[in-house]
Amino acid sequence: MFVYNKKLQYPVKICNPNPRLAALIISQYGGPDGELGASLRYLSQRYSMPFDDQKALLTDIGTEELEPT
């Protein structure tokens, strides 16, 4: 049987929310110039590459952009 337990790995306590910082963080991940956008561009461009070594390079760069810093 499957049981879903929504629990964070590390507990987070937010005393004072900061909407400006939250907007900045979200724009870095999901904005047009963010890491997710760059990663998806690399991964989609790999399908138009004619040589396997070029495909491998774009795949490596795209997956590297997905890794958290």
Longest dimension (CA), the chain: 53
Confidence of residue 68 (pLDDT cuts 50, 70, 90): low
pLDDT at 20 over 90: yes
pLDDT, average across residues 7-27: 85
Residue 44: predicted pLDDT:
92
Residue 19: predicted pLDDT:
92
User: pLDDT by residue (tens digit) across 24-58?
Assistant: 887 777 777 778 888 888 899 999 999 898 999 99
Residue 16: predicted pLDDT:
92
